[in-house]
């Protein structure tokens, strides 16, 4: 029988709070980059952008919970945290309603942002919702065909960071695009660990994630490479000019990053990867906060 939990607790589990830094960090970095480039901070726009990003993330999480169970990828042998549909904590109908509610709320908030930012924000919002639904749903779920990593890097890195920056300053810059790269790589590493843990069960269910396609060892090397590149990019930016020296702040997280890479490369597997997944989210949060602070230091000094 499914565990007895309160409805509030069930919806909290469905929202997957450990993944929410993946939505919040890109927005914070994008806004900080715009301010670094001379834009005035617009708190209401920042708050609305953050809320819309979180709602899209939650809606995508609900959609994945629903679709993975419907397609048989979630079952009793699952190694990851509880999925509410598979665990019987919420009905399929309730989760489907949650998907619609979250995306409708995101669209409502996004309407105001579109009025401010124009057609680029409309395009970003529509594409984000469509891809959130199509990640594990629809007739050709790209998360089942090895494209999940590309989706996460593009939408949680390039699109989210540059979109948040555009809403603050009305323009894009080379700096904004560059800082989106380490953010996208570290967000993608959350998915890399998730898919590494689920590789055996995903393969059995016909879910052809990139981890299934390239194998265990290559997936572990992917995690290490993405982590290393993130630190190299911010170091390269920091040494391009004296006013950017504060961009070395994310290097304070290097001990955690090194530990995570070591654990992944030494072959941790199964449920033990749940702790690595949680710490990877913490690394993203710490790295992102320090990167945003480093970008803001130019203004504050």
Model confidence at 101: pLDDT above 60: yes
Supply the DSSP symbol for 207.
-
Q: What is the pLDDT of residue 19?
A: 87
Tokens read off for 279? 């710490």
Give residue limits of the domains in the chain. Answer: 7-300
Q: What is the pLDDT of residue 72?
A: 61
**Confidence at 85, pLDDT banded by 50, 70, 90:** confident
Q: What is the pLDDT of residue 115?
A: 95
Model confidence at 138: pLDDT above 90: no
Q: What is the pLDDT of residue 21?
A: 92
Q: What is the pLDDT of residue 1?
A: 40
Q: What is the pLDDT of residue 230?
A: 98
Supply the DSSP symbol for 196.
H
Q: What is the pLDDT of residues 146-167, one digit of tens each?
A: 899 999 999 999 999 999 999 9
* Nearest residue to 167 (alpha-carbon basis) of 107, 124, 127, 129: 124
**Average pLDDT score over residue span 44-71:** 91
Supply the DSSP symbol for 134.
H
Q: What is the pLDDT of residue 241?
A: 81
Q: What is the pLDDT of residues 240-299, one digit of tens each?
A: 887 889 999 999 999 999 999 999 999 998 889 999 999 999 999 999 999 999 998 865
Model confidence at 2: pLDDT above 60: no
Q: What is the pLDDT of residues 173-230, one digit of tens each?
A: 999 999 999 999 999 999 999 999 999 888 887 889 999 999 999 999 999 999 999 9
Average pLDDT, the chain: 90
**Average pLDDT score over residue span 89-116:** 94
For the CA atoms of 82, 211, 102, 292, the dihedral, rounded to the nearest 10 degrees, stands at: 110
- Tell me the helix, strand and coil percentages in the chain, rounded to 5: 80, 0, 20
Model confidence at 88: pLDDT above 90: no
Look at the pTM and tell me if it is higher than 0.85.
Answer: yes
CA distances from 128 to 123, 124, 199, 218, 269 (A): 8, 6, 26, 29, 31
Tokens read off for 46? 């920042």
């Amino acid at each position: 029988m499914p565990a007895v939990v309160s409805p509030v607790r069930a919806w909290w589990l469905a929202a997957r709070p450990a993944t929410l830094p993946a939505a919040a960090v890109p927005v914070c970095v994008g806004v900080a980059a715009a301010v670094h480039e001379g834009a005035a901070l617009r708190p209401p726009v920042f708050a609305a952008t953050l809320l819309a990003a979180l709602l899209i993330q939650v809606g995508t999480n609900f959609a994945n919970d629903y679709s993975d169970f419907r397609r048989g990828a979630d079952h009793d042998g699952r190694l990851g945290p509880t999925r509410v549909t598979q665990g019987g904590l919420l009905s399929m109908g309730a989760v489907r309603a949650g998907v619609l509610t979250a995306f409708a709320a995101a669209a409502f908030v996004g309407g105001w942002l579109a009025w401010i930012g124009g057609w680029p924000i409309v395009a970003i919002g529509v594409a984000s919702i469509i891809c959130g639904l199509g990640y594990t749903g629809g007739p050709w779920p790209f998360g089942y065909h090895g494209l999940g990593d590309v989706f996460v890097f593009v939408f949680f890195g390039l699109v989210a960071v540059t979109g948040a920056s555009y809403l603050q300053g009305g323009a894009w810059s080379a700096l904004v695009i560059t800082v989106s790269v380490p953010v996208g790589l570290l967000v993608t590493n959350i998915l890399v660990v998730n898919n590494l843990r689920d590789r055996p069960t995903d393969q059995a269910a016909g879910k052809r994630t990139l981890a299934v396609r390239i194998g265990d060892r290559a997936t572990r090397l992917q995690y290490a490479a993405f982590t290393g590149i993130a630190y190299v990019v911010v170091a390269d930016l920091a040494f391009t000019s004296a006013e950017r020296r504060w961009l070395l702040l994310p290097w304070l997280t290097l001990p955690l990053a090194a530990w995570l890479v070591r654990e992944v490369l030494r072959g941790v597997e199964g449920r033990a990867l749940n702790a690595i997944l949680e710490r990877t989210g913490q690394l993203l949060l710490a790295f992102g906060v320090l990167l945003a602070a480093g970008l803001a230091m130019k203004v504050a000094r």
